[in-house]
Chains A and B, each alone.
Chain A
């Protein structure tokens, strides 16, 4: 009966997550800004971030295509120069593919290791999920590595609801570096 409880609990509409810390607070205490949309993202910088968190480096041209065909992108940039980052540097990222109306899937959640204890992963996911919920998308999904499942559960995501499992086609010819390309990490 997957779905029923949600409707009953939420009166037919999914609830967006609360934004636990405001943008202004992040700007003051961590020195970062959230940016919605892919405008301003430099592909090499994004690849650098992916490398830092252990994602495979992506072909720049294909990464550009992927961003153009991503339903929603949210990222974090350093608001000012600091010992951790140069001003404007991309230090956090998350995106979701979607048909815009029925279903969405979150991919490539990444936060620069230097900023990983500032709550940026949670903040990115709250904002991205809120956007998807407010757009009226009823099925919002992601694939999470074991070590980040608990974080997503805290946010309000549920694993394997009613026995529904995430599956991935196992390519025989995939290279090692492709192996973990699907993960969301934060």
Chain B
């Protein structure tokens, strides 16, 4: 699904909406993590479910308040909990029987290769744009946020130690009551060897670095849709922009995705203000 107006319509900027495939990762809620810089924390005290030998950690539905359950005046806002500025946020982690782990990570400001973005565009049905232009657009964007699928293999020397740490924090029994507060975990690099990193989602924003920001090119790999990753991506990006004191965050949305943005706190045509495009008829 493409959640936003795609910029750069010279090669036809049509909006597409791919159907969502089955969830690739078991959705659960991540435990709250203390944002202590430099402290690698295991996520194993998060609620887990064992399914086909896969231990699944956390997911996002509850992270920012489930919209369905909270259609009230006091609906929580993204603004309520901006959190600390982080470069990376672990959204989902699954562990395979062989000890390898797959993580989906929100990354703010990391380098994104234009070719990877365009591969993703083709996957969601957007025709590829000239790479040089995409590269320049990424470079000149105020903020580039991405979703990265990371596969890690355990380092044999350290795996026992980390299991212990995990057992220890499980044993603390903070357990479920304290664990559902809806803040994703800091990414813990650990000593595991990163085998691969794949771009599976992206959003970027142009801005004057002070008052306004406009979000473009919101997309998630169709293989990973249906898990709330698009929502997490945009919400984290909005948080990052608000943290930088950008008070006016805008975007252009196709009619199919208006509700997607509404539930996050965006409003169409606020105070009657109309989105307009240069589209001369002469």
Question: Which residues from chain A sit less than 8 Å from chain B, CB to CB?
Answer: 1-4, 6-7, 9-10, 12-15, 17, 58, 62-63, 65-70, 95, 97-105, 107, 129, 132-133, 138-146, 149, 152-153, 156-174, 178-183
**A104 vs B208: C-alpha distance in the bound complex, in angstroms?**
11
Interchain CB contact under 8 A, B276 and A182:
no
A2 touches B13 (CB 8 A): yes
Q: Which of B208, B252, B280 contacts A167 (CB 8 A)?
A: B252
What secondary structure prevails in chain A residues at the interface with B? mixed
Query: How many inter-chain contacts with C-beta < 8 Å in the A-B complex?
Result: 235
Q: Could you say which interface size class chain B belongs to?
A: 35 or more
Q: Are A99 and B136 in contact (CB under 8 A)?
A: yes
Q: Which residues of B contact A169 (CB under 8 A)?
A: 78, 238, 248-250, 264-267
Interface string of B236-270 (1 = CB under 8 A from A): 00100010010111111111001001001111111
9 A-B contacts (beta carbon < 8 Å):
A15-B280, A103-B214, A141-B214, A149-B276, A164-B252, A165-B258, A167-B252, A170-B266, A178-B248
A157-B277 in contact given A66-B210, A167-B251, A171-B79 (Cβ < 8 Å): yes
- Output the least CB separation between B132 and chain A (Å): 8
Whether B255 pairs with A138 at a CB distance below 8 angstroms is: no
Q: Of all chain B residues, which has the CB nearest A18?
A: B282
Is B279 in contact with A63, judged by CB distance below 8 angstroms?
no
B250–A140 contact, CB under 8 A? no
Residues on the B chain within 8 Å of A7, using CB: 9-10, 12
Give complex CA distance A98, B136 in Å. 11
